[in-house]
Structure 1
Amino acid sequence: MAEVIRSPITALIWEIWLRNRRWIWSIIGTFLFGWVSNFVLQDTFFSSRAGRNTLSAFNETLTFASLLIVFAIFNYTEYDAQRGWAGFPDRLFTLPVPTLLLVGVPIGLGIFAVELVYVGWVKLVFAHDEVAKPALIALLIGAFMVVYQSTLWILARFGALRMVVLGVVGISFIVVNVLSSFPQDSLSPWLSENILSALTAGAALIAFVAAWIHVARQRSGGTSRRNSVKAIIERITDALPRRTTPFSSPEAAQFWFEWRRSGLLFPLCIAG
């Protein structure tokens, strides 16, 4: 295999395959299971509307599971024990390639993988015209892959806050898909499908550029300076009342540690 891997880009792709080949095979197995099930059961389920709805829900569940695994595969981060957070793998900075390629390869491969899985389900499993606006959904999924990886890298030091940000972005993309289902004449021109698609693509481009700049700064040692936002948060948490009595059990100590690290995010989750 050493003779085949002649470039750093090939090495990055091969590494992603080696680390996640079991999950990749699980996606292939899920797809084949769905395809065979639809081929065998379509005559039975398509004879009634209830059957079609049941089969459609079955396919949607398998599709969602497959896409979820793809996003898990491209959680392209590594934990840094010294810094205490998981971000872009620092070990890749020694490779003789531009930062643009270090960022572009996992993001580009992630887009290709998630679109391949989605198109496979839409074209080979779902019935004809069963999926409304497949092109828009493909755009939203691809854009979310870019935002997903960029957020994991840029907000690495903020830990669980990344999940809140990704949740907000995910809900926003769902709203875009819902708005596209309304009659276009009843919506503002700024909420038309073309405008929303352009804004989605623009958001993905901005996220990619931001990730590129962040990783380049990290590669040059720029992240050694304290982040002003994090410094403010740390000052607020330091000002909170501290526990002075001993913990009653190891479980209580662990709970207190987790609360101090991520507990302040709970009010944000229920603020709506």
Structure 2
Amino acid sequence: MVQSKAQRMKFLAFCLLPTFVMFAIFSLFPLFSGMYYSFFKWSGSGGNKTFVGLKNYIRLFNDPVIPQTIYHDYFLVFFKVLLIMLIATFFAVVLTQFRIKEAAFYRVIFFFPNIMSVVVVGILWMFIYNPNMGIVNSGLRQLGLESMAKPWLGDMTWALPSLVLPAVWAGIGLFMLMIMGGISNIPTSIYEAADVDGATRWEQFWKITVPLIWAQLKSSIIYIVITTLNGSFVIVQIMTEGGPSNSTHVMGSYLYQQAFVNYNFGYAAAIGVMILVFSLITVLLLQLLLKREKIQY
């Protein structure tokens, strides 16, 4: 039976309605609620809210911790993107273009940290960095480099860089598999033709592999940036709680402190809006910077 256009639209609306309702409940409602509460002074309990207008946003510009949190977030973004993409791309190329019998085993090994809870990752690396029993300091002492041993998570200079390694270690596997999927879709005939023309492995990587997997590389970079700006507070909260002396606070962990330690939900909501703005601006800039003409093959 031939359906009219109106009937098709009703069917599509019926199918999409549950998804839209879930999106509205778990995404749109918290988003607009956060914006609403950012204009109030509120302890988070009870209905005793005081409208303060833009005072929470004015406080953002005068809070000396906010610039530190922004710097810390983008510090993690830069090094996570750099290290994860370099390491993930390297192993993706090795496991797809070199005949390694144990390739399937290595895929599992690299992906294993991704199935671990962030809490488990944080606790594991706290033991690794432990100044007395941790693997890092114990290894340095075994190598005769005891002078380099330090309380990594308690040192104002090294606490933030120390958070990069757990985040990179936990993220390599997922992006390696994404890049491997892109490489596996490239016809082998293209590489065979490049071999006949005398192109080296390095030339094939830059002139064939990278352009043809650019969509996967771009998606990976943007995903890392979004998850770091919106989710790095978890590893920070577990491993350092923003210390020592705010040296590892990111925007998200400072929001958590204001909301659940200082019970200043209005100001925390303003910080949440700030995170949203920074995330949107960063992603839009990346979309422009990473835009390339799609190559068909």
TM range (shorter): under 0.3
Q: What is the TM-score with the length of structure 2 in the denominator?
A: 0.25
**Which of the two has higher C-alpha Rg?**
2
Q: What is the TM-score with the length of structure 1 in the denominator?
A: 0.27
